[in-house]
Amino acid sequence: GTQGWPSQAPYDAILVTAAAPKIPAALVNQLKIGGRLVIPVGNQDKQTMLRLTRGQGNQLHKEEFDQFAFVPLKGKDGWGK
């Protein structure tokens, strides 16, 4: 879900396989330095695949890839029911 699994963090990598309307801060916060988050972000019809890499001092390097269509992510930082 959008809140991840904080008790097991930090992570080297997090792969999200459902579309999010925005990047969930909780997932970014659970990455190790050098850790990567891959997530489709956009509207419910199409999303851009993002790869975020966490750098020193909480800097994020963002790479954007092609357009996709995933099922909606549910939860606090996802779409409602």
Q: What are the extents of the domains in the chain? A: 6-68
Asked whether the predicted pLDDT for residue 6 surpasses 90, the reply is: yes
pTM for the model:
0.86
- Sheet of 60-68: strand order equals 11-15, 31-42, 47-54, 60-68
The reported pLDDT for the residue numbered 81 is 58
The reported pLDDT for the residue numbered 78 is 82
Strands 60-68 and 47-54: antiparallel
The reported pLDDT for the residue numbered 55 is 95
